A and B are shown apart, each in its own frame.
Chain A
Amino acid sequence: MNLLYKRLLLTLLLTFLCFSIPVFAYHQNEVFDVVDEDGNLVTKTSLTLTNGDIYISANNTEWEISGKEEGKYIVKKNGVLDLSVYLTKPLEIEIQADGSQPVIGIYHTHSSESYAPGEYSQPYPGEIYQVGETLKNALEEQGFKVNWSQANHNPHDGSAYIRSRDTAAKLLQDKPIAVIDVHRDAVPDREFYSTEIDGKSVAKVRIVTGKQNQNRDSNFEFAKAMKAQADEAQPGITEGIFWAKGNYNQDLGPRMILLEFGTHVLTLEEAQAAAERYAEVISASLPVGGGRAERSAASSGVVWVIVIALAALGIFLLINKNGLESFKNFAQRFTHSFRTRKKTKENK
């Protein structure tokens, strides 16, 4: 028992140490300016960015995060993207041509998100569900079957994505062509996150794609396709695209996307107006016609998975028993049954 107490103490001490390091570097609810090398504002975000992350701004300029100075992220210009290709060439989506209605899934990882003038964070169901419902109705008008999950994933904490993962996976069972996690941002700037369309104030939409998964390319493609369609049908509505560290359950399949409908200081009506318009954008960026999407896609994903698997296997074998010798042992064991079978045959 004495030994157990020692271990308990060691565990608690190490845990405390592990916590104390990142807590110093952690800033809650901080909004960062993202500026170019001359100090001009490119965008604002609360997202923690790392070098190499990509942001595509409203005018389709691709920016790459290159550093952080005085609390501002510095970006360098990679060039201006020509997204017109997405208008003529539809996304490559493997579809089961069973003639059924194409399906879209909607869910809300952050179940308490709400808008001004009330509390920004409300008990389930937050106002974000009303944005989801508007998007659902608008997508149904576009001809989709929409599975809208009203599941509660509260509290809004670091485990919210673990809980919503179960919901996202459940939505995938119906082979949707896309699954959308509907959010609102937390940048406290009305002017920055709203635009005027047909004389009406409408929230801007930010697309967030996570880089830490094997579907990163197909999700980024989908984001760019939406941006291209939005530029045609609803110019100015897309705030931009982030392709940054994070996962947001996007490892579960391609075209799993996170959309931020405005920010907390806007009103619910402005966010709903954006959702109504964005349904048209989403619809236009997906192939027309019926059928369900295949479970997964993209050859880059295959390479990704294989490389990681091989790396893991390499580490595993290297640290096991006799270092590199274990590769030999592994190969011997692997061929053992084959060799013995051959011997038995020869004996016969």
Chain B
Amino acid sequence: MTSVTILLVVTALLVIILGHRALDRTGLTDKQALVVIGLIWVGGFLDIPIGRVSVNVGGFIIPTLLIIYLLSKASSNQERFRGVLAIFISAGVIYLTSRIFDFGPEVGSYTFIDPLYLYGALAGVVAYLMGRSRRAAFIGGIGSILLVEAASIIYHQFTEGGPANLGTAGFFTGAIIAGLVAIFLAEVVGETREMMQGGPKKGDNYPSGLKKGNAPKEIEARATHAFRVSKPTLVLEVGESGDVKVFLEENAP
């Protein structure tokens, strides 16, 4: 086997394994993750011409659909909102970075890290701070670069014209690499944090709504447990024998 074939096989395997692991972290099932990878890979060979812009199926359309799907699968509107916000803030950060730094060889520029990885890392940090989740990091990483790239191409189509390529690098397009970097970073940061913290806190560590002290003082004093969902305030009474009674605030004995 020549070195060429080995490099090709090793790279392909790595991309598939890393991509699969990354998608796994976003909450897709193993099968779904494999299908997405397959679609990105095969779609990488398909370009759809829109005007003078070649839009790649694997490098642009599938990742866009994936983000929409992941956002739609989010557990709450708040998570959805955070995901969209993460995309826009990361896109803003990446746009600002690209205005300040030039990574080419003609302008004194920071070359300590390739923009390909830097943008992924930036998006990963922003999205992680916003959503504290691997899924948010992935959505932010891919979404922000797709947004910045598409916006700049659309803008320059109107102002200057000329042919343009969007996502034609398929699996190796900037957005997908950024998504992988973002998720890897979120994994490293998240796992390290959890490891340093030594797992979940023990003791009286309920979500804020269930904590003591959140319900009116007089109910706190008399009830075994009291919590406020927002309104109404509920009183939870746990008896000696372990029986549980729940009352509305106004009906509490």
Contact residues of A with B, CB < 8 Å? 1, 4, 7-8, 10-11, 14-15, 18-19, 22-23, 25-30, 32, 45-48, 50, 94, 109-111, 113, 123-125, 149-163, 165-170, 173, 183-186, 208, 212, 214, 242, 244-248, 252, 258, 260, 294-299, 301-302, 305-306, 309, 312, 315-316, 319-321, 323
The verdict on A150 contacting B162 (CB below 8 Å), with A109-B104, A162-B115 known, is yes
Q: A4-B78, A11-B130, A150-B163 are in contact. Are A162 and B108 (CB under 8 A)?
A: no
Contact A125 B10 (CB under 8 A): no
CA distance A183 to B45 in the complex (A): 28
Task: Give the residue of B81, B82, B109, B148 whose beta carbon is less than 8 angstroms from that of A159.
Answer: B148
List CB contacts (< 8 Å) of B113-165 with chain A.
113-116, 119, 122, 125-126, 129-130, 145, 148-149, 152-153, 156, 159-165
Q: Which residues of A contact B101 (CB under 8 A)?
A: 22, 26, 158
Closest to B99 in A: A157
- Residue ID in chain B nearest A3 by CB atoms: B208
Q: Which of A7, A162, A305 contacts B174 (CB 8 A)?
A: A162
Contact B152 A159 (CB under 8 A): yes
Tell whether, in the assembled complex, residue B106 and residue A166 are in contact, meaning their CB atoms are under 8 Å apart.
Answer: no
Number of A-B pairs whose CB atoms are under 8 Å? 233
- Chain A residues whose CB sits within 8 angstroms of the CB of B160 once the complex forms: 123-124, 152, 154
A29-B107 in contact (CB<8A) = yes
Would A302 and B10 be within 8 Å (CB), given that A48-B109, A154-B156, A295-B4 are in contact? yes
Beyond A152-B156, A305-B11, is A165–B173 a contact (Cβ under 8 Å)? yes
A169 touches B100 (CB 8 A): no
Chain A residues with CB under 8 Å of B14's CB are 305, 309
Check A258 against B111 for contact (C-beta < 8 Å).
no
Docked-complex contact A169 and B168, CB < 8 angstroms: yes
Closest CB-CB distance, A28 to chain B, in whole Å?
Answer: 6
Given known A-B contacts A11-B89, A166-B56, A169-B173, A296 and B8 have beta carbons under 8 A apart: yes
Name the B residues within 8 Å of A29 (CB-CB). 107-108
State whether A163 touches B108 (Cβ < 8 A): no
Q: How far apart are the CA atoms of A214 and B166 in the complex, in Å?
A: 24
Contact mask for chain B residues 14-31; partner A; CB cutoff 8 A; 1 contact, 0 none? 100000000000000000
Residues of A within 8 A of B152 (CB): 154-155, 159, 163
Min CB–CB distance A347 → chain B (angstroms):
27
4 A-B pairs closest in CB distance: A152-B162, A158-B98, A169-B169, A162-B174
Can you give 20 A-B contacts (C-beta < 8 A)?
A: A4-B78, A4-B81, A8-B130, A26-B101, A26-B110, A48-B109, A123-B159, A151-B162, A151-B165, A154-B156, A162-B116, A163-B152, A163-B165, A165-B116, A166-B56, A170-B165, A186-B106, A245-B112, A248-B105, A320-B191
Asked if B94 is at the interface (CB within 8 A of a chain A CB), the reply is: yes
Do A246 and B3 touch (CB < 8 A)?
A: no
Add 12 more A-B contacts to A94-B2, A170-B47 (CB < 8 A): A4-B82, A11-B89, A14-B129, A152-B162, A152-B163, A152-B164, A158-B100, A166-B56, A169-B170, A212-B111, A296-B4, A301-B7
- List A contacts of B94 (CB < 8 A): 159
Given the complex, which residues of A lie within 8 Å of B39, measured CB to CB?
A: none
Chain A residues positioned under 8 Å from B41 (CB to CB): none
Residues of B within 8 A of A155 (CB): 152, 156
Give bound CA distance, A321 to B145, whole Å.
31
Give the one of B56, B119, B129 with max A CB within 10 A. B129
B102 touches A306 (CB 8 A): no
B14 to chain A, nearest CB (A): 5
Neighbouring B residues of A48 by C-beta, 8 Å: 108-111
B34 to chain A, nearest CB (A): 17
| Complexed CA–CA distance, A158 and B102 (Å) | 4
From known contacts A186-B106, A242-B105, infer whether A167 and B168 are also in contact, taking CB-CB under 8 Å.
yes
What is the size category of the interface that chain B forms with chain A?
35 or more
**A167 contacts B165, CB within 8 Å?**
yes
Docked complex Cα distance between A125 and B169 (Å): 23
B50 lies within 8 A of chain A by Cβ: no
B56, B119, B162, most chain A CB atoms within 10 A: B162
Whether the Cβ atoms of A312 and B184 lie closer than 8 Å is yes
A315 in contact with B10 (CB, 8 Å): no
Minimum C-beta distance from A123 to chain B (A): 5
The answer on a CB contact under 8 Å between A208 and B105 is yes
Expressed in whole angstroms, the Cα–Cα distance for A32 and B104 within the complex equals 15
Shortest Cβ distance from B99 into chain A, in angstroms?
A: 6
Do the beta carbons of A246 and B108 come within 8 Å of each other?
A: no
- A residues in contact with B149, CB < 8 Å: 159, 162-163
Q: How many angstroms from the CA of A178 to the CA of B93 in the assembled complex?
A: 35
Q: Which residue of A lies closest to B81 (CB)?
A: A4
Is B54 part of the binding interface, using a Cβ–Cβ cutoff of 8 Å? yes
From B102, B106, B114, B168, give the contact of A183 (CB < 8 A). B106
Q: Is B43 an interface residue (CB 8 A)?
A: no
Interchain CB contact under 8 A, A22 and B110: yes
Q: Are B11 and A296 in contact (CB under 8 A)?
A: yes
Is there contact, CB below 8 Å, between B173 and A28? no
Contact between B116 and A319, CB atoms less than 8 A apart: no
* CB nearest neighbor in A for B172: A169
A contact residues around B115 at 8 Å (CB):
158-159, 161-162
